Structure 1
Amino acid sequence: MFTTTGSRGLYKAPLSKGLLLILNGLTVMLTLLPQYQEMFVYNLQAVIQQHQVWRLLCGRLVCLDVKDSFCSSLLIYNFRIFERRFGTKKFASFLLGTWCLSALMDSLLAQAFEYLFDYEVEELPAGLLAPVFSLFVPFYQSIPSMPVTQILGHINITNKSLVYIVGLQLLTSSPFMWLLALSGLISGGLYYSNVLWLQKILFVPAWVAFIGRYILEPLFSSSQPNNETPVGMGATLDIQRQQRMDLLDQQMLLAQYNEARRNTRPQPRAGLLQWTRLFPSLRQRGQNRPPVQAEAQTQPSSQPPLLDNSPVAEEQVARLVEMGFSRIDALEALRASNNDINMATNFLLQH
């Protein structure tokens, strides 16, 4: 699901799987063969002064530090949700565009640092680090933050906290990692906001996508996982209870949706989904039903239940619209789920 980062494995994420396997395999190979590591050092001065452009390709793909490779792999695994949400071609275009932009930003930031502090930046950490940091831009703007638990009574832990912690660990792993992080964030912001139509300039060509689809994708594709959600043995009771509730919610929504499609005819309503028949029990869960609602249920079943007319926060509507849903469906989903953006987002993505 798009609102969480730890579900469904690498299903429908062949590019992420290929990056994890190939780049980590090269890192292990270079660890065992240290005599070849010099070819993959990201020597910025050699690129600028000696015009060794090939170092950009070698030095900005494979990590020489195992810790950097591990942290960047965790981030790529979590950011695979963008490949499933937008498609492999668009995800690859984002990585390619930010890779090219960050290569320029690296040199500009290094020269600015040398001008301000009179210190020459010779080498930078090697690996696909700047594009990985650039993915924090859509992660921050597109993924809703949902509280999971609290520590020390007032510090909220959300579904995005672990990703930020891993990014912070990667940021503090090397002295000049901050330069790559800043380069990646700037590049990601420019490409994500489509400044100067960068998305139409830096993208994966159609013939490359064709080759990848029919040659590389079958090699790295993953089978569809089981629909059942396993509960970890080391999970706390609260986490187990939340996982069971999420699974029951999904099963209930799917059952209601299928029942509505079988027993009702489509009505000429605005929007794509018949929300009035999907969430009646969800709106009543955990609330004391007033007598007016109890009397309303004694009416003939031919009349569909009315939507909740409670006000909807424009910020939540804007989040759903930014994900690509129509405003009408976003409004109806939030009203039907009592402004629960998690439930609304899950159902919009599933249907």
Structure 2
Amino acid sequence: MFESTGVKLKAPLSKGLLLVLSGLTVMLSLLPQYQHMFEYNLQAVSHQLQVGRLLCGRLVCLDVKDSFCSGMLIYNFRIFERRFGSRKFASFLLGTWCVSALLDLLLAQVVSFLFDDKVEELPAGLLAPVFALFVPFYSSIPRVPVTKVLGLISITNKTLVYIVGLQLLTSSPFMWLLALSGLVSGGLYHSNVLWLQNFLFVPARLCAVAHYLLEPLFSSSQPSGEAPLGMGATLDIQRQQRMDQLDQQLLLAQFNEARANSRHRAQWSRLFPSLRRRRPAPPQPQSQTQPSAPPLPSDNSIAEEQVARLVEMGFSRLDALEALRVSNNDINMATNFLLQH
């Protein structure tokens, strides 16, 4: 974690990419005479070694529809920048961009050899890193059911993101090649099998300069009650999101109350240690006892596997224990609670 919590919530890198890349796409659509400079021509890159064509071709979309779909995905994937910080998010984009650039050339040669179909040009834009973000999205974001269509098809908080990705996948003939290279590069970088995270990362000084330049431009208030990756398209989904927001507010209140009680108990025990050996109250008759509410799960009853999963997602062990305690050991509710608060 290289940035403060406020900077992470603003997600300046995601907003900057969304605005700058979308603006360049609109500008190129109005000035078609300059579009040839941003075409992703594999022959020019591999045979003529045009590095500028590689940089421009894999950055700006020439198709407005591709720019719109990739912009929606970048906006939804900003949750990773909020969770891990802008530097780790930028390092992931840089690492997958470099690895997928090599995979594009390799896959194009394989397709030409197997199917006698020479691949000379691929869709332009920051497409392979966007597809690479589906790897951590699939593995680390919990699947929370929202509603059902006709009682058969289950709609979750991740359904709309997959639909947008499928739309982007079918927009061009060779888009599947970029998607494949992006998914492979995302899996390699996310799992760190080849130690890519050790040498493909954004330097701290560059991140500090970008922090001072981008944060004033994309400053925003902390999101309140925003469901992760949720975009309600129907009244049922919006109603379910509202219920989730109320549940998260209740969990937050229980979380703060539990922390305050534990803090007060620690201070009281430190000031008055003799009260620890206070005699217990005599047991009351069975007829006079009243049924009490079931207690919240203690630290011993919380599954260590669930705590380990939350710790692997980037949360501290103390926060994971508190979230599982107030959510009654529900891993999905605890994850949503930690992501928002």
- Normalising by the residue count of structure 1, what TM-score does the alignment of the two structures yield? 0.79
In 2, distance between residues paired with 1:141 and 1:265? Answer: 35
Unmatched runs of 5 consecutive residues or more in structure 2: 1-7, 267-286
Q: Which residue of 2 aligns with 1:116?
A: 114
CA shift in 2, pair 1:13/1:234, >3 Å: closer
Q: Which residue of 2 aligns with 1:295?
A: 291
Q: Which residue of 1 aligns with 2:49?
A: 51
Residue 100 of structure 1 and its aligned partner are, at CA, apart by 0.5
**Letter of the structure 1 residue corresponding to residue 184 of structure 2:** I
**Letter of the structure 2 residue corresponding to residue 295 of structure 1:** P
Map of 1:222-241 to 2, 5 A cutoff?
222-225=220-223, 235-236=234-235, 238-241=236-239
CA shift in 2, pair 1:178/1:234, >3 Å: closer
CA shift in 2, pair 1:22/1:159, >3 Å: same
Counterpart secondary structure, 1:218: coil
Q: Residue 296 of structure 2 contacts residue 328 of structure 2 at CA under 8 Å; is this kept in 1? A: no
Q: Residue 308 of structure 1 contacts residue 336 of structure 1 at CA under 8 Å; is this kept in 2? A: no
In the alignment of these two chains, the number of paired residues is 311
Residue 318 of structure 1 and its aligned partner are, at CA, apart by 5.3
Q: Which residue of 2 aligns with 1:39?
A: 37
Counterpart secondary structure, 2:147: strand
Q: Which residue of 1 aligns with 2:84?
A: 86
CA shift in 2, pair 1:336/1:241, >3 Å: same
Residue 249 of structure 1 and its aligned partner are, at CA, apart by 2.2
In 2, distance between residues paired with 1:97 and 1:55? Answer: 19
Residue 222 of structure 1 and its aligned partner are, at CA, apart by 2.5
- Normalising by the residue count of structure 2, what TM-score does the alignment of the two structures yield? 0.81
Counterpart secondary structure, 1:156: strand
Q: What percent of counterpart residues are identical?
A: 75
Aligned match of 1:348 in 307, 331, 338? 338
Q: Residue 41 of structure 1 contacts residue 58 of structure 1 at CA under 8 Å; is this kept in 2? A: yes
**Which consecutive segments of 4 or more residues in structure 1 shift more than 6 A?**
308-311
In 1, distance between residues paired with 2:191 and 2:246? Answer: 38
Q: Which residue of 2 aligns with 1:307?
A: 298
Residue 153 of structure 1 and its aligned partner are, at CA, apart by 2.2
Residue 322 of structure 1 and its aligned partner are, at CA, apart by 2.6
Q: Which residue of 2 aligns with 1:323?
A: 313
Residue 228 of structure 1 and its aligned partner are, at CA, apart by 8.6
CA shift in 2, pair 1:263/1:184, >3 Å: closer
Residue 134 of structure 1 and its aligned partner are, at CA, apart by 0.3
**Letter of the structure 2 residue corresponding to residue 145 of structure 1:** R
Q: Residue 11 of structure 2 contacts residue 78 of structure 2 at CA under 8 Å; is this kept in 1? A: yes
Q: Residue 59 of structure 2 contacts residue 126 of structure 2 at CA under 8 Å; is this kept in 1? A: yes
Residue 329 of structure 1 and its aligned partner are, at CA, apart by 5.9
Counterpart secondary structure, 2:65: helix
Map of 1:171-182 to 2, 5 A cutoff?
171-182=169-180
Aligned match of 1:126 in 118, 124, 127? 124
In 2, distance between residues paired with 1:334 and 1:67? Answer: 42
Q: Residue 135 of structure 1 contacts residue 188 of structure 1 at CA under 8 Å; is this kept in 2? A: yes
Residue 253 of structure 1 and its aligned partner are, at CA, apart by 2.7
In 2, distance between residues paired with 1:11 and 1:349? Answer: 11
Aligned match of 2:64 in 60, 63, 66? 66
In 1, distance between residues paired with 2:297 and 2:181? Answer: 50
Unmatched runs of 5 consecutive residues or more in structure 1: 1-9, 269-290, 299-303
**Letter of the structure 2 residue corresponding to residue 104 of structure 1:** L
Q: Residue 142 of structure 1 contacts residue 319 of structure 1 at CA under 8 Å; is this kept in 2? A: no
In 2, distance between residues paired with 1:228 and 1:70? Answer: 22
Aligned-pair RMSD on alpha carbons?
3.1
Q: What does the per-residue CA deviation read over 1:158-212, in whole Å, with 9 as the maximum and x for residues that have no partner? A: 1101101100000000000000000000100111111221111101112211210
**Letter of the structure 2 residue corresponding to residue 192 of structure 1:** H
